[in-house]
Homo-oligomer: A and B are copies of this chain.
Amino acid sequence: MRGKYREIQEKIYEYFHARPELQTPLEISKDEHRELCWRQMYGLIKEAGIRPLKYVVEDPGKYFAIVEAAGAVDISLGIKLGVQYSLWGGSVINLGTKKHKDKYFEGIDSLDYPGCFAMTELHQGSNVQGLQTVATFDPITDEFIINTPSDGAIKWWIGNAAVHGKFASVFAKLMLPAQDAKGVSDMGVHAFIVPLRDLKTHQELPGIEIHDCGHKYTSSLPTINKRFAATLGELVGGRVSLASSSTSILKVANAIAIRYSLLRQQFGPPNQPEVSILDYQSQQHKLMPMLASTYAFHFATSYLVEIYSQMKTTHAEQLVGDVHGLSAGLKAYVTSYTAKSLSVCREACGGHGYAAVNRFGILRNDHDIFQTFEGDNTVLLQQVAADLLKQYKQKFQGGTLAVTWNYLRESMNTYLSQPNPVTARWEGVEHLRDPKFQLDAFRYRTSRLLQSAAVRLRKHSKTLGGFGAWNRCLNHLLTLAESHIESVILAKFIETVEKCPDASTRAALKLVCDLYALNQIWNDIGTYRNVDYVAPNKAKAIHKQTDYLSFQVRNIAKELVDAFDLPDHVTRAPIAMQSEAYAQYTHFVGF
């Protein structure tokens, strides 16, 4: 599963494995953790010789693989790399001119110029156009004066600012002198490189005031609305990285929870040995659909990385819509799912899951912010819904659709008719496990939600206006966006299964894919029943098959987890060690 960037990931794992002093201890103060995180990054760049900014430009997939592997060492390190290279570096590369790149590229890549991405303000996050910081051009001195006019405009959550940053890309409303009555003209939000600290003494420069936002090192790149997206569009790389890192964190959690569930025994039939807790239907129900989703996300995010890299290296215009929509959607969908799953994994491992050394708590706390930064998930899903509605309109106008959305062209026609009352009753296993049935069901749902959303929006906008109508349909639109993302994920999974060259691997993946598909259909069985897409007997058969597939996937769960290729020194949790887990645990405690 590790794919073509395995080599550089091994290099990172080995670098940290060989340097136990760079491992983050369980108990560490915020200030010490910041220093350690800096030393980890410094070692990676200066000692292990990794040069991420080069890959940001030339091979983004490799860059994401670096961030992902660093995140497995400590999520904070992955985030700190993201701030330095995706956000600060990315803003210079993508928004800067040749002059900026010539001046800053090497210093950013070598860590001589640590920097920040200063967009979010205390009062403004998602609504970037509402930023209050002002950049006024002074024609006399030929300078830009960057000003924070009120407390609400204080730049907030600026990763790398509190201690290490030398520069920041500051986002501010540009004011230019104008000939009209007001004398100035608001040119909208632009980015400015602002020096924060002296390069030699590291003293804060005059006019700069920096305070620490407090516990939880973080950085936040909020959602970008459409007009602004024209400027900042290149920064979707951060979302691609988050979707893929989140999947990677989900893999680590899966590996720990499933390996421990195979080891742990509790209760059993009378006068017989206790059974592994993974033999309980309830434990399978918690963990096996999650394992299936992890596989599904792996293939979907790998695809996203691939088309993003194509877009960046070939500058293929036709990929832009796809990459934007899919990165917003997958970032939101995957990070929300992972956040919930980390809690499920903890709880599925009982008391031992609660021990800090077994990592769920730390993973969850560090991953949590993935749902908010680089675009709040609820806001990002609205972008996806808005895109879908745009495509829907274009369909009726005969325009071209982005590749990922393409299925809507035919599905709309097929699915606007009434569901077929005969197939609605089919309940045979062969039918339920037919990818055509599964994909049709997913796409039917999306098409129906899209069509009804369009109708409702049109109706409500007459009385409520655009903003009011959108808000009145908001839950509907969010469901639509999720449904679309699920359709894309399933299509990619089915494609992967069909392409798999090895017969027994293909059979295993098919099991996992079927579990993913049927579990999702069952989760939303109400919708399918409401339109009689699925008859009661079929609903029951889908439920039964989901339980059965969970049981079958459980029988190959060990191998499915092994395929993540995560050695014990990466998973690290004593309860998940592949030999003598309990002994490692008692040893850790001091017995």
Contact = CB atoms under 8 A, between A and B. Distances in A.
Interface of A: 26-27, 29-30, 120, 122-127, 130, 151-152, 154, 156-157, 209, 211-216, 218, 220, 265-270, 274, 279-283, 285, 336, 339-340, 343, 346-347, 350-351, 353-357, 361, 365, 368-369, 371-373, 376-378, 465-468, 471-475, 478, 522, 524-526, 529-532, 536, 539-540, 547, 582-583, 585-586, 588-591
* Dominant secondary structure at the A interface: helix
A373 to B, nearest CB: 7
B530 A540 contact: yes
A472 B154 CA distance: 58
Nearest to A539: B530
A368 to B, nearest CB: 7
A26 B215 CA distance: 8
A214 B355 contact: yes
Contact of A589 (B213, B356, B369, B547): B213
Given A130-B266, A525-B526, 13 more contacts: A122-B582, A122-B585, A123-B265, A157-B351, A211-B589, A212-B590, A214-B588, A215-B357, A343-B343, A343-B368, A350-B372, A351-B373, A361-B365
A125 B357 CA distance: 19
Contacts of A355: 213-216
Contact of A582 (B123, B125, B280, B282): B123
A427 to B, nearest CB: 13
Nearest to A532: B536
Given A215-B26, A274-B127, A529-B530, A347 B365 contact: no
A26 B214 contact: yes
Nearest to A588: B214
A218 to B, nearest CB: 6
A340 B282 CA distance: 18
Contact of A267 (B120, B126, B281): B126
Contacts of A365: 361, 365
A368 B372 contact: no
Nearest to A130: B274
A280 B215 contact: no
A356 B215 contact: yes
Nearest to A268: B467
Nearest to A285: B475
A522 B269 CA distance: 38
> How many monomers of this protein are in the complex?
2
Contact of A214 (B346, B356, B532): B356
Contact of A356 (B27, B123, B216): B216
A582 B216 CA distance: 19
B281 A475 contact: yes
Contacts of A282: 378, 474-475, 478
A6 B209 CA distance: 45
A515 B9 CA distance: 50
Nearest to A356: B215
A339 B350 contact: no
Contacts of A220: 351
A347 B473 CA distance: 21
Contacts of A154: 586, 591
A343 B340 contact: yes
A475 B547 contact: yes
30 contacts: A27-B29, A27-B30, A27-B215, A123-B265, A125-B350, A125-B351, A126-B266, A126-B267, A127-B266, A127-B274, A130-B274, A151-B586, A152-B582, A156-B351, A212-B590, A215-B355, A268-B467, A269-B467, A285-B474, A346-B368, A350-B376, A351-B369, A354-B372, A524-B526, A525-B530, A526-B526, A526-B529, A529-B529, A529-B530, A530-B539
Contacts of A524: 526
A540 B527 CA distance: 10
A126 to B, nearest CB: 6
A156, A281, A526: residue with the most chain B Cβ atoms closer than 10 Å? A526
A122, A154, A529: residue with the most chain B Cβ atoms closer than 10 Å? A529
A529 B26 CA distance: 49
A72 to B, nearest CB: 20
Contact of A354 (B127, B218, B266, B468): B218
A127 B586 CA distance: 20
A29 B356 CA distance: 13
Nearest to A378: B282
A354, A368, A377, A468: residue with the most chain B Cβ atoms closer than 10 Å? A354
A357 B214 contact: yes
Contacts of A214: 26, 355-357, 588-589
Nearest to A586: B151
Contacts of A127: 266-267, 274
A148 to B, nearest CB: 10
Contacts of A377: 347
Contacts of A216: 354-356, 361
Contacts of A126: 266-267, 350
A386 B390 CA distance: 53
Contacts of A472: 281
B354 A369 contact: yes
Contacts of A588: 214
Nearest to A339: B343
A471 B530 contact: no
Contact of A279 (B218, B266, B267, B471): B471
Given A214-B588, A282-B378, A583 B475 contact: no
Q: Which 3 A-B pairs have the closest CB atoms?
A: A215-B356, A525-B526, A529-B529
